[in-house]
Amino acid sequence: MMNHSMKNQYNVKPGTIIQGKWHKHRYIILKELGFGANGIVYLAQWNQEYVALKMSDNGMSITSEVNVLKSFAKVQGSALGPSLLDVDDWEHSKGQISFYAMEYIQGPDFMSFIEQKGPSWLPVLILQLLSDLEKLHESGWVFGDLKPENLIVTGPTPRIRCIDVGGTTIKGRAIKEFTEFFDRGYWGLGSRKAEPSYDLFAVAMIMINAVFPKRFTKTTGGITQLRNQLKQSKVLQKFEAVIVQALEGRYHSAKDMRNDLIKTVSHDSANHRRTSRQTNAGSTVNAQKMNHQTQSRVKAGASRKKQKQGGIVETFVLTVVILLFYAFYIFGQLI
C-alpha cells in the first residue's frame, strides 16, 4: 500500500454531487478546505446549508474520528470539536470512500488571527483553549495533535475552536498522531502517553509558535533550547513562568495552567495600564517618574477628601442623636 499519492486518488472537483450510500443525503462540493494525513476536508452544501465534509480512503480513520466526535457530543455544553451531522460512504466509479459531514466552523486560523489582531489576543485565546481542554480531559480524552493549524477563531466575538480530532486519544493510551514541533517526545521532554500534561506542553509550544511563526528546529533539544528561545521574545517573557512549567510537564490539569495564566495576565494588565498612560504622557524616564508621583499624590488627595466628607456626616448624626435625646428628656420633664 502506497499512500503518498493519496491526494491524487480522489480529487473531488467543485460541483460534484456526493450522495451517501446509506442515508442518501446529497452534498454539493464547493471547494477544498484543507488536507492532512488522514484525508481531505471539503466545504459542501447540504439543504442550503454549509457543511464541512471529510473524506478518506482509509475508512478506519473516518470511523475512529466519528467515534471521538460522538463521544464529544455527550459532553454537556461543550464546543470541543465540530458537531457531527452525518456518516456515510460514497460509491463512485473507482470504489468506495468513507466520509462524514460536520458543522462548518468559519474563521481565520489561529496564526492569521494573531497576526491580524496582535499579540494581546494571545492570552485570551489560550485561556479559552485551556478551558476547552479541561472539559476534554475530564471526559477521558487527550487531544494529541494540538497545533495552530487545528485551531480556528470564529466570530463575531472571537472564540477558539478545535477542528481536527484525528489525533484525539483515550487517556492512558499511546498518542495516535502528533506534529514534531508540538510533541514533547521530539524535544526530549517526556513520553508519548496520552495524559493532560501532553496537551499542555503543546499549548505552551503554540504560544511560542505565535511569536515565532516560522518555528525552529531542534538543536540541543531539551528545556535549555526552549528557554533560550523564550528569552528572545518580549511577548513571551511575560508568560515565561507559565510556559516553562507547562514545558516541564509540571501542570497536571488544564485548570492549574489556566489559573496561573490568569494571574499572570491580570498582574500584567495592571502594570500595562500604568505603562500605557505613562507612554501617552511622554516616554522619557523622568516624565514617567513624575507622572508616577503625581498619580500617587492624586490618589492620596482623593482619599483625604473622602475622610473629610465622612467627618461631616459623623458630626451631623451625633448632633441629631443628642438633640433627640434632649427632646425626649424635655418631653419627659413636661409630663
| Residues classed as catalytic | 145
Interacting residues of 214 by C-beta distance below 8 A, sequence separation 6+: none
Amino acid (1-letter code) at residue 238: K
Q: Smallest gap, in angstroms, from Cβ of residue 152 to other proteins?
A: 24
Site membership for other proteins, residue 171 (CB under 8 A) = no
Site membership for other proteins, residue 264 (CB under 8 A) = no
Using CB under 8 A, which of 19, 83, 96, 275 touches other proteins?
Answer: 96
Site for other proteins in 40-69 (CB under 8 A): 59-60, 63-64, 66-67
The string of DSSP letters for 271-328 reads HHHHHHHHHHH--SHHHHHHHHHHHHHHHHHHHHHHHHHHHHHHHHHHHHHHHHHHHH
Distance CA(165)–CA(147), nearest Å, equals 11
CB atoms inside a 10 Å sphere around CB 115:
13
Q: Smallest gap, in angstroms, from Cβ of residue 231 to other proteins?
A: 26
In this complex, which beta carbon is closest to other proteins, that of residue 93 or of residue 280? Answer: 93
Site membership for other proteins, residue 92 (CB under 8 A) = no
Beta bridge partners of 109: 152
Using CB under 8 A, which of 7, 26, 173, 215 touches other proteins?
Answer: 173
Q: Smallest gap, in angstroms, from Cβ of residue 24 to other proteins?
A: 13
Binding pattern for the stretch 97-136 against other proteins, x by CB under 8 A and - elsewhere: -x--------------------------------------
Site membership for other proteins, residue 1 (CB under 8 A) = yes
Distance CA(43)–CA(30), nearest Å, equals 5
- Would you call the peptide bond into 156 cis, given omega within 30 degrees of 0 as the criterion? yes
Piece in contact with other proteins (CB under 8 A), picked from 138-146, 171-179, 277-285, 302-310: 171-179
In this complex, which beta carbon is closest to other proteins, that of residue 9 or of residue 96? Answer: 96
Joined together, the cell numbers standing for residue 287 give 516624565
Site for other proteins in 189-208 (CB under 8 A): 191-194
Distance CA(335)–CA(319), nearest Å, equals 24
Amino acid (1-letter code) at residue 75: V
Using CB under 8 A, which of 10, 75, 89, 158 touches other proteins?
Answer: 89
Piece in contact with other proteins (CB under 8 A), picked from 83-91, 251-259, 282-290, 324-332: 83-91
Estimate to the nearest angstrom the gap between the alpha carbon of 253 and the chain centroid: 15
Phi, psi torsion values for 86, nearest 5 degrees: -160, 150
Distance CA(154)–CA(152), nearest Å, equals 6
Site membership for other proteins, residue 36 (CB under 8 A) = no
How many residues lie near other proteins (CB under 8 A)? 31
Site membership for other proteins, residue 185 (CB under 8 A) = yes
Site membership for other proteins, residue 249 (CB under 8 A) = no
Distant-in-sequence contacts of 234-241, Cβ < 8 A, 24+ apart: 235/119, 235/122, 235/210, 235/211, 236/207, 236/208, 236/211, 238/264, 238/268, 239/123, 239/207, 239/264
Site membership for other proteins, residue 19 (CB under 8 A) = no
In this complex, which beta carbon is closest to other proteins, that of residue 218 or of residue 231? Answer: 218
Q: Smallest gap, in angstroms, from Cβ of residue 79 to other proteins?
A: 22
In this complex, which beta carbon is closest to other proteins, that of residue 55 or of residue 265? Answer: 55
The residues of the shown chain that bind other proteins, judged by CB under 8 A, are 1-4, 22, 37, 59-60, 63-64, 66-67, 70, 87-89, 96, 98, 170, 172-176, 180, 185-186, 191-194
